[in-house]
Amino acid sequence: MRIALGIEYNGTNYFGWQRQREVKSVQEELEKALSVIANHPVEVQCAGRTDAGVHGTGQVVHFDTNVTRKMVAWTMGANANMPSDIAVRWAKEVSDDFHARFSATARRYRYIIFNHALRPGILNSGVSHYHGELDEKKMHEAGQYLLGENDFT
């Protein structure tokens, strides 16, 4: 059986999505939690990796298991076994040909610039701070090159 999960995470305390030796990753935390629920090692595939410190919302992953559980067991169980900065938001059984990365039809990226003379205290992990004057017209013009279908590989 193949299960897809929708997850979100605050990447501040992680060295990115992908499992790595000797450093914390979102993938490792999720796989450890799911392995507890499945009673066997679980490996997940994701729609797209994130770098160190980057947050994810709406990230889709999938994994295979031969264990039958209600979908709520996967969501609640995983959340109970992970740090509070990672959350499974939904679970759904999908067909065996579904792949989180290759079945994705869209990806969206959001960058927030906090444009103020002084840096924020509470928002510091969710925004980029820039204290100088920004040229919104030039930013908008440059942003047009990122719209549409692009192959950034």
The residues annotated with a catalytic role in the active site are 51
Q: Helix/strand/coil (H, E, C) string of the chain?
A: CEEEEEEEECHHHCCCCCCECCECCHHHHHHHHHHHHHCCCCCCEECCCCCCCCCEEEEEEEEECCCCCCHHHHHHHHHHCCCCCEEEEEEEEECCCCCCCCCCCCCCCCCCEEECCCCCCCHHHCCEEECCCCCHHHHHHHHHHHCCCCCCC
Length of the chain: 153
Q: What is the phi/psi pair of residue 47, to 5°?
A: -70, -35
